[in-house]
A and B are shown apart, each in its own frame.
Chain A
Amino acid sequence: MLSTRALGLAPTLKQAAFSPARNHVLRNVIRSSITKRSIQTQSLKPEDGTTILNKQRLQRPSSPHFTIYEPQLTWVGSIFNRITGVGLSFLLYGFSLAYLVAPGTFDSTHVIEFVGGLPDAVKYAGKFILALPFTFHSFNGIRHLLWDSGKFLTVKGAYSSGYAVLGATAISTIVLMFQ
């Protein structure tokens, strides 16, 4: 009987069955083994259900999604727009807070002097690193505003405007690099 094994009653019952027992001995044995179980129980509050479920969910595997999505102009352009925006904003915030904290080291004369003293290759690289995000974010921002007014809202439109943005970014970055 599976239930008696699970409840831990099997050894007791076996013992009782093999001993030369009379009815009341068997009854007493069963009664005492029923009141004293050899299994442990644990009382849980209702909130523990959510906690245990969340712990289990953290350990469950998930299929690859972001790692297998083919890079396309649509979403790569979108995340690059965010990355460039956040990067430029970090620069703006960083410089303004640095000027607020230490106006002596970050005022215009020192900054211009420092940049002027850098080698030419570093200057060109620096201009490229600053011009590319700025131009891409500006042109892609215009593309977003055009989308908001209802234009280019097809797949062809998204791709053609995307290539236009890439072209404009490349041209304006090169123009700005040699200013």
Chain B
Amino acid sequence: AIYKGTVNDPTTFPPPSKTHGSYHWAFERLLSAALVPMTVTAFATSGTNYPLFDGILGLSLIIHSHIGFDSSIVDYLHPRKFPVIGPIIRWTLRAATVGTMVGVYQFNTNDIGLTELIAKVWTA
């Protein structure tokens, strides 16, 4: 008989789910692949001429960063081993991502935009 609930239990696995599995992987790779031509274009043109493109680039960068941060949390602070700080850091990340999206929107609307800022600061 296999006894459950003792100290010799193997580790748990998350339930199989396409949204957290293959779809997540595919979305992450598609986004990273899309960032390559977008970055090249950002170097070529300026942000003020194409504000919509600037916004899409900013949004893609933020989502890419969020996925990267989330992978780091899964690797180093998994809730299975860190039942308290793991979820706390995860929700802090989500709040920070929302805040960053609002901040980038404000910056792109009320100010010159991310690509323009980087171009100007680089040649300041």
Query: Which B residue's beta carbon lies closest to that of A123?
Result: B124
Contacts of A89 in B (CB 8 A): 65, 68-69
Among A86, A107, A111, A145, contact of B69 (Cβ-Cβ < 8 Å)? A86
B77 CB-CB contact with A under 8 Å: no
Question: For residues 84 through 104 of chain A, which have their beta carbon under 8 Å from a beta carbon of chain B?
Answer: 85-86, 88-89, 92-93, 95-100, 103
Question: For residues 141 through 169 of chain A, which have their beta carbon under 8 Å from a beta carbon of chain B?
Answer: 141-142, 144-145, 148
* In the complex with contacts A86-B72, A116-B124, A141-B32, A107-B111 CB distance below 8 A: yes
B122→A127 contact, CB < 8 A: yes
Contacts of B4 in A (CB 8 A): none
Q: What's the count of A-B pairs with C-beta under 8 Å?
A: 80
Contacts of A82 in B (CB 8 A): 68, 72
* In the complex with contacts A93-B96, A99-B106, A111-B117, A53-B65 CB distance below 8 A: no
B22 CB-CB contact with A under 8 Å: no
Listed from nearest, the 7 A-B pairs whose CB atoms lie closest are A96-B103, A89-B65, A100-B103, A116-B124, A96-B100, A115-B124, A108-B112
C-alpha spacing A158/B46, complex, angstroms: 35
A61 CB-CB contact with B under 8 Å: no
C-alpha spacing A179/B116, complex, angstroms: 15
Among B35, B39, B106, B120, contact of A112 (Cβ-Cβ < 8 Å)? B120
Residue-by-residue, is A48-59 near B (CB-CB < 8 Å gives 1, otherwise 0)?
011001000000
Query: Which B residue's beta carbon lies closest to that of A89?
Result: B65
B68→A97 contact, CB < 8 A: no
C-alpha spacing A97/B99, complex, angstroms: 6
B32→A86 contact, CB < 8 A: no
Contacts of A176 in B (CB 8 A): 122
B29 CB-CB contact with A under 8 Å: yes
B103→A99 contact, CB < 8 A: yes
Contacts of B103 in A (CB 8 A): 95-100
What would be 15 A-B contacts, judged by CB atoms less than 8 Å apart?
A: A53-B7, A86-B69, A89-B69, A93-B65, A93-B96, A95-B103, A97-B100, A100-B102, A100-B106, A108-B116, A112-B117, A112-B120, A115-B121, A142-B36, A176-B122
Residue-by-residue, is B93-124 near A (CB-CB < 8 Å gives 1, otherwise 0)?
00011011111101100111000110011111
A138 CB-CB contact with B under 8 Å: yes
Contacts of A88 in B (CB 8 A): 65
C-alpha spacing A140/B94, complex, angstroms: 26
Question: For residues 8 through 34 of chain A, which have their beta carbon under 8 Å from a beta carbon of chain B?
Answer: none
Task: A85-B68, A89-B69, A96-B104 given; name 9 further pairs at CB < 8 Å.
Answer: A53-B7, A93-B100, A96-B99, A100-B99, A108-B111, A123-B124, A127-B122, A142-B36, A179-B123
